[in-house]
């Protein structure tokens, strides 16, 4: 049910046509698999979301620091030294020759991650990507309203991952309404996950968008990350919202982990 490309099964380049989704865990079933691209989105402008990065295994992420990426735990394979993940940033078109490239040196997956909740991880890079970073929400004050999502994932359920970044807006959905969607949603981890989506469907993150940020403007008019694309049933189905890691709940853990990677 996770929305990233299957780790270990498909090692994707920065741009790949291999299908995936972001509402769900890595699986061959496109209706319940890692999510690839934004459904119902529009093209993002160059420089509009400069903190966005693409990971070579087919997930997204955001620059927590210029040399640290915040992504989903299900996109990586545990913690420790890792030089296998390629990172592309600074562009909306993954084929743009101006793209900045870096490689992982270490991964820190959320302690205790077992596939339910705690879906966050940090990736340390061998060199900085010279782009603005995305601050994380450290209170739940911004865990409401309308959110922005962006990614290179599939633009339809079962579709192909994209070369160019897409963006969309999705409204907050409260936990009770999200759980009422039934199925996997009944197991929503209230304190650790946040839901967003259009009730009628048609707009959503999808396979390959896993690990990418859900964000909004704060009171100062600056973007703040409130979620991480995690899972969902299918892509953009009516009554089946996207589920995101609730960043504010893990803010202190993420900051401590980043300090550990930076030391």
Active-site residue, 74 included: yes
Single out the catalytic residue among 119, 148, 155, 204. 119
Active-site residue, 249 included: no
Look at the alpha carbons of 173, 176, 179, 180 in this order and tell me if their dihedral is positive or negative.
Answer: negative
27 neighbors 3 (Cβ within 8 angstroms): no
Active-site residue, 210 included: yes
Single out the catalytic residue among 160, 210, 230, 248. 210
Single out the catalytic residue among 67, 74, 104, 160. 74
68 neighbors 42 (Cβ within 8 angstroms): no
Q: What are the catalytic residues?
A: 74, 119, 210
């Amino acid at each position: 049910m996770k929305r990233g490309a299957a780790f270990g099964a498909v090692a994707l380049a920065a741009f790949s046509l291999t299908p995936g989704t972001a509402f769900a865990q890595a699986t061959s079933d496109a209706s319940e698999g890692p999510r690839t691209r934004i459904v119902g989105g529009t093209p993002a402008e160059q420089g509009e979301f400069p903190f966005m990065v693409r990971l070579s295994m087919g997930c997204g992420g955001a620059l927590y620091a210029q040399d640290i990426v915040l992504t989903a735990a299900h996109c990586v394979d545990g913690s420790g030294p890792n030089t296998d993940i390629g990172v592309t940033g600074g562009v909306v078109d993954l084929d743009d020759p101006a793209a900045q490239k870096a490689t992982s040196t270490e991964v820190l997956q959320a302690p205790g991650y077992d596939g339910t909740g705690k879906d966050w991880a940090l990736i340390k890079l061998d060199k900085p990507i010279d782009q603005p970073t995305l601050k994380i929400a450290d209170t739940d004050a911004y865990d409401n309203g309308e959110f922005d999502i962006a990614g290179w994932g599939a633009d339809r359920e079962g579709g192909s991952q994209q070369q160019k970044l897409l963006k969309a807006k999705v409204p907050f959905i409260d936990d009770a309404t999200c759980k009422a969607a039934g199925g996997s949603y009944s197991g929503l981890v209230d304190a650790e996950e946040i839901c967003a989506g259009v009730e009628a469907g048609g707009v959503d993150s999808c396979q390959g968008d896993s690990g990418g940020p859900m964000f909004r403007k704060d009171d100062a008019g600056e973007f703040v990350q409130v979620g991480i694309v995690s899972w969902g049933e299918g892509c953009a189905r009516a009554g089946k919202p996207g589920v995101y890691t609730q960043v504010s709940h893990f803010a202190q853990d993420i900051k401590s982990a980043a300090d550990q990677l930076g030391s």
